[in-house]
């Protein structure tokens, strides 16, 4: 099978498995990304995420992750929710249902099996937000979208509410080309961020991002962010909610991403009275388990406690 036929086959399998889009790029060193990543790290925008400082070469060269790699297959999987949920305390939409790592990894293993049935033995690995893979850069290179001013990948037909996954394999396939940047003069994401985590277009200060503060940061959230989290207790969707391209987002078709009815019915008092047992029942298979009960409880207290409670009458 020639590279063009292998590319067509791969996209057919992707469609059959429910991936909305599939793009292909040649596995090589991302030379243009190296100085950007170096500068981002130099500015300490990674905050306490020390793992982002490690495996620098592997982040930029997939051949160091998979020896002999020739192709990076990038895939998009929609997670825009089917349910309206007006919770008083908010979770990022990707966390409504089952952990995406589990859901998508299952599909990727099936993907590799189907490819091998058609192409023979393949040396490769599958990834979904795992290992040091520069996933947005590869998705952009394969024509699946452009990097927006909020640093997320944007797709003209589905916005940005999707997961990115990859196959890094030793099969040669016909690559796709990149697309143009369609952000134009829009700065909606920058203007809407309550913590000023987007200091300049296409650059995010991770140490100020609400997702970082509510998930990655293990210490107490700095008081300077008080009243800036806007009731987000796990992740944040603000920069996506205001992005004009997300008017094209359509509900997903993955039952495993649907929120449990008990979660949809949560009221503010339920969040305030959340027990470790209830946490385990609601989030045992959810991305939210990453914070553990103590972390989610910290976030709930932070966004709900009255900042005036310790002040004496008269504001002294």
CA atoms of 291 and 154, how far apart (whole Å): 27
Q: Burial code of 109-128, b = ≥16 C-beta within 10 A, e = fewer?
A: eebbebbeeebeeeebbbbb
What average pLDDT does range 273-294 have in this prediction?
96
Could you report the per-residue pLDDT of 110-158, keeping only the tens digit for each?
A: 999 999 999 999 999 999 987 889 999 999 999 999 999 999 999 999 9
Query: Who has greater pLDDT, 236 or 45?
Result: 236
Q: Which residues are catalytic?
A: 129
Higher pLDDT, 185 or 49: 185
Half-sphere CA count of 56, side-chain side, radius 13 A: 12
**Can you tell me the mean pLDDT for 286-314?**
81
Distance CA 131, CA 221 (A): 27
| pLDDT, position 52 | 81
| Tens digits of residue pLDDT in 249-266 | 999 999 999 999 999 999
Query: At residue 312, does pLDDT exceed 90?
Result: no
Confidence category of residue 174, pLDDT binned at 50, 70, 90: very high
- Contact between 96 and 257 (Cβ < 8 Å): yes
- Give phi and psi for 232, each to the nearest 5: -80, 125
| pLDDT given for residue 273 in this prediction | 96
CB 272 within 8 A of CB 300: yes
Judged against a pLDDT cut of 80, whether residue 22 lies above it is answered with yes
Among candidate residues 207, 215, 257, the one with its CA nearest the CA of residue 234:
215
Q: What is the mean pLDDT of the chain?
A: 93
- CB–CB of 152/240 below 8 Å? yes
Bridge-based pairing of strands 90-91 and 232-234 is parallel
pLDDT band at residue 307 using 50, 70 and 90 as cut-offs: low
Tell me whether strands 124-127 and 162-169 are parallel, antiparallel or unpaired.
antiparallel
User: What backbone torsions phi and psi does residue 305 show, to the nearest 5 degrees?
Assistant: -70, 150
CA 150 vs CA 86, 157, 198, 201, 202: distances in Å: 24, 18, 7, 7, 6
For residue range 216-228, list pLDDT tens digits in order.
Answer: 999 999 999 999 9
Sign of the four-CA dihedral 124, 290, 149, 20: positive
- 161-175: average pLDDT: 97
């Amino acid at each position: 099978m020639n590279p063009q036929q292998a590319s067509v086959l791969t996209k057919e399998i992707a469609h059959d498995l429910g991936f909305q889009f599939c793009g292909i790029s040649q596995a090589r060193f991302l030379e243009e990304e190296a100085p950007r990543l170096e500068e981002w790290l130099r500015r300490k925008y990674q905050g306490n995420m020390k793992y982002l400082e490690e495996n620098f070469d592997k982040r930029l060269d997939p051949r160091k992750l998979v020896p002999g790699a020739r192709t990076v297959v990038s895939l998009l999987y929609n997670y825009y929710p089917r349910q309206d949920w007006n919770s008083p305390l908010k979770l990022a939409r990707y966390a409504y249902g089952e952990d995406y790592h589990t859901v998508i990894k299952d599909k990727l293993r099936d993907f590799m099996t189907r490819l091998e049935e058609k192409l023979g033995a393949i040396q490769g690995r599958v990834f979904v937000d795992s290992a040091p893979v520069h996933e947005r850069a590869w998705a952009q290179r394969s024509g699946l979208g452009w990097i927006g001013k909020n640093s997320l990948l944007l797709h003209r037909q589905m916005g940005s509410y999707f997961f990115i996954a990859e196959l890094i394999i030793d099969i040669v396939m016909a690559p796709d080309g990149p697309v143009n940047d369609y952000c134009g003069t829009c700065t909606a994401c920058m203007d809407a961020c309550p913590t000023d985590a987007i200091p300049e277009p296409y650059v995010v200060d991770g140490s100020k991002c609400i997702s970082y503060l509510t998930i990655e940061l293990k210490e107490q959230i700095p008081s300077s962010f008080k009243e800036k989290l806007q009731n987000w207790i796990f992740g944040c969707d603000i920069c996506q909610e205001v992005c004009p391209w997300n008017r094209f987002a359509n509900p997903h078709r993955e039952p495993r991403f649907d929120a449990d009815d008990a979660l949809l019915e949560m009221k503010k008092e339920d969040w305030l009275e959340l027990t470790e047992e209830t946490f385990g029942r609601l989030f045992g298979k959810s991305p939210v388990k990453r914070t553990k009960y103590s972390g989610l409880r910290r976030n709930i207290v932070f966004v709900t406690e009255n900042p005036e409670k310790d002040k004496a009458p008269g504001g002294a």
